[in-house]
Amino acid sequence: MLRIIDARTSEPAPAVPARRGPTRVEAHAPGRDTTGLRVLLVADLLVRALELDGTPTWALLTGANERAELRADAAALGIRPFEDGGATGTGTGPGAGQAVHVVREGAVAPDGTTVAVAPVDAAGQAATADPDALRLALLERHHHARVELDGAVLDDARDTLARWRREVAAWARQPSRPVPGEVRDQLRAAWEDDLDAPAVLRVLRRVETDADLPDGARFETYAYADRFLGLHLARDIGAPA
C-alpha cells in the first residue's frame, strides 16, 4: 500500500483511505517557478501511484498565482491537468473523502496528510530546457532533497532519455515477454515507499544492463515503469532507426 512521509509528523502515513475510497490530491503550488512545477510534478506522481494501486483520485491546483501560465508550463512537463481548487483548498466533490496536500517545504497546508517538496535552484536553466529532460532531472532526486539544476545535469538527463527511447523502440521489435515478477515488485515497492522515483530509475538502469533479461521483458518493464514516471519512453516506437 502506498505510504508517504507526512511533513506534519515526519512519520509514514497511508495515502489510500482505509476503506479504499477516493483520495483528493491538492497541489499548493507557490507560484510560476521551477519549485512550483516540482510541487505539481510530485502531485502528479502521487496521482499516478494511486491510480496504479486502483485508488480513485481527484487532483486540484490550489492557491497558485499566474495559474494559466503555470498550467501551460505543467502540461509541457507532462503533468496531467489539475482542476481548480480555489484559493485555500476547500474543494468538495467525488474525491473529498481523503485529502493529501502537496506543498513547498516549510509551507503551511490545511489539515490532512501533507507531502513537503524541497525547492529547486535552477539559475535560469529550466526556462530553456527540454521539458522531458527537466522532468527526468527532477525525478533523479527524491522530493525531500533540494535540486540544483545546471547545464550538465540537464544534458545528462537529455542524453539518458534519448538512449532509453532508442532502446525501448528497438526492444519493442522483439517478442514480448512479461515483466519479471521480482522486477515488478521492486518497482511497486519503490513508488509505494514515499514516491521514491530515484529508486524506480535505479531499477530501470539495472534492467537496461541485465544480460539475462530478454529484450521483450525490458520493453514491458520500461512501459510499466513509465506509467509512474511519465517520461514518454515509448515515444519513438515505429520511428526510423
Every domain of the chain and the residues it spans: 3-117, 124-143+151-241
pLDDT tens across the length of the chain (241 residues)? 899 999 999 999 998 876 667 899 999 988 888 999 999 999 999 999 999 999 999 999 987 677 888 899 999 999 999 998 765 444 444 445 689 999 999 988 778 899 999 999 976 666 667 999 999 999 999 999 999 998 899 999 999 999 999 999 999 999 999 999 999 999 999 999 999 999 999 999 999 999 999 999 999 999 999 999 999 999 999 877 6
Q: Please enumerate in sequence order all residues whose Cβ is within 8 A of that of 108, keeping only pairs 6 or more positions apart, or say none.
A: none
Neighbours of 47 (CB within 10 A): 22
Q: List the grid coordinates of 5.
A: 512521509
d(CA 62, CA 59): 10
Check residue 230 and give left, alpha or beta (phi > 0: left; psi -120 to 50: alpha): left
pLDDT of residue 109: 74
Q: Residues of 96-134 as b/e, b for ≥16 C-beta within 10 angstroms?
A: eebbbbbbbbebebeeebbbbbbbbebeebbeebbbbbb
Length of the chain: 241
Residue at grid coordinates 515477454 = 177
Q: Report yes or no on whether pTM surpasses 0.85.
A: yes
Q: List the grid coordinates of 126.
A: 529550466
DSSP character at residue 126: G
Neighbours of 203 (CB within 10 A): 17
Phi, psi of 101 (to 5 degrees): -100, 135
d(CA 159, CA 139): 15
Alpha helices in the chain (DSSP H): 34-52, 67-76, 131-139, 151-171, 181-192, 197-209, 215-229
3-state SS, residue 193 = strand
CA-based torsion, 154, 159, 164, 169: positive or negative? positive
| CB burial of residue 44 (10 Å; 0-12, 13-18, 19+) | buried
Are β-strands 3-6 and 11-14 bridged in parallel, bridged antiparallel, or unpaired?
Answer: antiparallel
